[in-house]
Amino acid sequence: VDFQIMGEAKPYIKKTTDKSWRGVTLPWMSIGYELKLAPIHTLTLYNAIANGGKMISPIIIKESRIGGKPVEHYESHILNDQICSTPTLRKVKQMLEGVVERGTAKNIKTEKYKIAGKTGTAQKIENGRYVQKYYTSFAGYFPADNTKYSCIVIVDSPKGYYMEGSTTAAPVFREIADKIYSTDFILHKPL
């Protein structure tokens, strides 16, 4: 992705030629295990989905200045013109909207604007073994029908009885989205 912060993690996606490839690797990879992605990489994928399939490198700042004078200008660049076919993209969007409409994140549904996204719950590894500790997440974008914002929320080792992305990370996403929605009057429907 070439993000603007030093120390960006490099993604690791297994290949069939890797020594650690096993018969269960592919199904595990399909739900996020046995690969390594930084949250910014995951968010870049969600942005591409919201952006009609065009994957663009994320940026934090557009310009740096010293004494009010521009020193350097930054622009995002296209990483992939079309990440998948149009029919596939349409199905993925419907699924991500369905997660909030009637799926694992229905607890963050709002009538004010549409949210699309996906919950995540991943068991942690310590000393080479899975332990009863988790990373929970919600990645998504809003308004889903005319996207302007995206966000990823990750909770490291949530405490309590319910330790899923739907009960820990998704409500944080909704709170962030509500605050943004309340300040962006362009998103509001006329009274």
Please name the helix (run of DSSP H) or strand (run of DSSP E) that holds residue 132, with its range, or none: strand 129-142
**DSSP per-residue string spanning 31-57:** TT-SEE--HHHHHHHHHHHHTTT-EE-
pLDDT of residue 1: 56
Percent of the chain exceeding pLDDT 90 equals 72
Question: What would the mean pLDDT of 57-77 be, rounded to a whole number?
Answer: 89
| 162 confidence band (pLDDT: 50, 70, 90) | confident
| 188 confidence band (pLDDT: 50, 70, 90) | confident
pTM confidence score = 0.88
Encoding tokens for residue 98?
């369905």
> Which tens digit of pLDDT belongs to each residue from 103-129?
999 999 999 999 999 999 999 989 989
More confident residue, 162 or 109: 109
For residues 66-85, one letter each, b for 16 or more C-beta atoms within 10 angstroms of the residue's C-beta and e for the rest, the string is eeeeeeeeeeeeeeeeebee
pLDDT of residue 90: 98
